Amino acid sequence: MRKGTPFSKLLFIWGILVSSAIAEQLILKDTSDVVLDGKTYDRLIIDNCKNIVVKNCTFNAVDHYGDAYSACVKVQGGSDNIIIQDSRMLGNYKICDGIYVQESTNVTAKNNYLSEFRNDGLKVHSASKVSYLNNEVHGLLSQGTDGYNLSEGPCYGHSDLIQFKFEVSNIVIDGNLMYGNKWGNAGIFFGNNDSKKNIRISNNIIISSKEAVTVKNADGVEIYNNIFWGQRERGLELNGENNSSDPAFAKNIKIYNNIMGNFTVLHSLDLEENNIEEDFNLFGSTSGHKNLGENSFIDVDYSFSGIGNHKKHHPDSVYWQQFEPKFDDKVVDAGKVGGNLPLVDLMNRIRDEFPDIGPLEFDVSIEGPFSLVNDKFKSKMPKIAFNRFSNSLNYNWPGQTHFSLFVLDIRGTVLSSTEVLNSGAGQLPLGKEVKPGFYLIQLSSGSEHHIQKIIVL
């Protein structure tokens, strides 16, 4: 057991749950079936535990405790079935990592906010069945032992928003917003040595890092519907070096429906020989490309509705709405169909039979005919999306007819409503926590009505 600093308090749990109003550090060891709800600590260590739920908690770091692998939340020692959700990890540039999963399995971190770490945001170390879903990660300082400020220690390594160390398998990285790594290394980094198997990277927005995703020592990687933008050097990098003291490999990789700065293949990696598929991608740079897929294309001037060209914009702060496709954008309806591609986008909007390239769909599929009074609305359906970050419904109405917008649960109970006058965009607060499930959106104008289903995951 590592002791805290003289100014911190330590709560240690061995086998049973003990509560304390003054605890600042919490260690759960050899215990099970614990729920932490609405608590505040400096950091949490979950060691050899099962069935642990952490939700609505805040971890506000004050020190790294002399530990090169310290984290706001660390899961280790063969822990199993761990859920970390709806919580805040505030590193304050004091602690090394945000969430660190080591030698454990069945760990899910979702809907969390992580900021200001000396090293990595999310880390997976010799673990399996780990999912990072819908998290916001930003602000890495790169003060590891091989970072930009070596004297600061003790955190080990360069800063990555997500890093895989040693042998990991069955990993899902979906729906995350990651940015502000301008002093660090990669958005997602596949570390040296050992294999990384069955990795799925989908519906993410990764902005402003040295490289977006560096793939090596990997067998079975799916990279679908992401945005890799604002990188200082490379977007997606595949590394297949096989003739050095530190060999690497990359094989059985599928790359579809992404928007990225560029695509770099190192060390003469043969795409066909290693079963690497690339198609239906948009690239913002001509560098590094060889034999692009038939449906991929390059646009050096491409920009999003709320953010500039990938070479000219390196923001410290972003939000997902900035990356919505523009009207008549070339990525709309241009994506690959079928296969194991995501069925919903970053904001849980259902992808229709003509999916877009990137993590955000321009439109929502609406079943059946829909015409409002005087049939003024024909060409485009309204954009409607649930915003998990603000617990509200975003809408964008390009037509000229006013209408009423209702949000109902599956039993038909009205949760919220508003009047939309003419064209424009807005936000409809839902007033209470929306749980995962089916919801109904009703659009009404005069005597005409249309009902649309949305899924909240």
Closest to 203 in 3D by CA, of 132, 149, 251: 132
Domain co-membership, 190 together with 319: yes
The segment with the largest mean pLDDT, out of 41-55, 107-121, 376-390, is 41-55
Quick check: is 334 in a domain? Answer: no
Q: Which of 265, 292, 323 is the last residue of a domain?
A: 323
Q: Of the candidates 384, 400, 381, which has an alpha carbon nearest to the alpha carbon of residue 453?
A: 384
First and final C-alpha spacing in the chain? 38
Q: How many whole angstroms separate alpha carbon 86 and alpha carbon 107?
A: 15
Query: In which band, very low, low, confident or very high, does the pLDDT at 20 lie, cut at 50, 70 and 90?
Result: very low
The residue that leads in pLDDT, 108 or 299, is 108
Whether residue 113 sits in one domain with residue 221: yes
How much is the pLDDT for 224?
Answer: 97
Residue 291 belongs to a domain with what CATH number? 2.160.20
Per-residue pLDDT tens over the stretch 36-69: 999 999 999 999 999 999 999 999 998 877 777 7
pLDDT averaged over the chain? Answer: 76
| Same domain as 450, residue 382 | yes
pLDDT beyond 50 at 205: yes
Cβ pair 114, 132 in contact under 8 A:
no
Q: Which of 327, 336, 204 minimizes the C-alpha distance to 260?
A: 204
Task: Please tell me whether residues 298 and 421 are part of one structural domain.
Answer: no
Contact 209, 241 (CB under 8 A): no
**Is 346 part of a structural domain of the chain?**
no
Integer CA distances (angstroms), 102 to 11, 113, 121, 257, 326, in order: 21, 20, 14, 31, 41
Percent pLDDT > 90 in the chain is 31
Which CATH number covers residue 452? 2.60.40.3080
Q: How would you write 303-355 as a 3-class SS string?
A: CCCCCCCCCCCCCCCCCHHHHCCCCCCCCCCCCCCCCCCCCECCCCCECCCCC
Q: Could you tell me if residue 365 is inside a domain?
A: no
Tens of pLDDT, residue by residue over 342-359, are 988 888 778 878 889 999
Q: What are the start-end ranges of the H helices in 226-324?
A: none
Looking at residue 114, its pLDDT comes to: 93
- With beta carbons less than 8 A apart as the criterion, state whether 146 and 171 touch: no
pLDDT at 108 over 70: yes
Are residues 443 and 300 both part of a single domain? no
Of 323, 352, 382, the last residue of a domain is 323
Which pLDDT value is given to residue 128?
A: 96
Average pLDDT over residues 128-141: 90
- Least reliable range by pLDDT among 222-226, 250-254, 431-435: 431-435
In a domain, 299, yes or no: yes
Q: Are residues 410 and 316 in the same domain?
A: no
pLDDT 10s digits, 411-448: 566 777 776 665 556 666 665 566 666 667 766 665 55
Distant-in-sequence, close-in-space partners of 56: CB < 8 Å, separation ≥ 6: 37, 38, 86, 87
User: How confident is residue 273, by pLDDT bands cut at 50, 70 and 90?
Assistant: confident
Asked if 165 and 139 count as a contact pair (C-beta separation under 8 A), the reply is no
Query: What is the span of the domain harbouring residue 268?
Result: 10-323
Residue 221: pLDDT over 90: yes
Residue ending a domain, choose from 263, 288, 323: 323
Is residue 445 included in any domain, yes or no?
Answer: yes
Do 155 and 251 have their domain in common? yes
Same domain for 386 and 305: no
Half-sphere exposure of 227 (CA within 13 A, CB side): 33
For position 455, what pLDDT does the model report?
62
Position 73 in a domain: yes
**260 with 122, same domain?**
yes
Alpha-carbon distance of 235 to 232, in angstroms, equals 9
Q: Is residue 107 part of a domain?
A: yes
In a domain, 4, yes or no: no
Q: What is the pLDDT of residue 430?
A: 64
- Whether residues 110 and 232 fall in one domain: yes
**Region 198-208 average pLDDT:** 90
Query: Which residue in 88, 94, 63, 73 sits closest to 28, CA to CA?
Result: 73
Q: Are residues 209 and 61 in the same domain?
A: yes
Domain count, the chain: 2
Q: Are residues 168 and 280 in the same domain?
A: yes
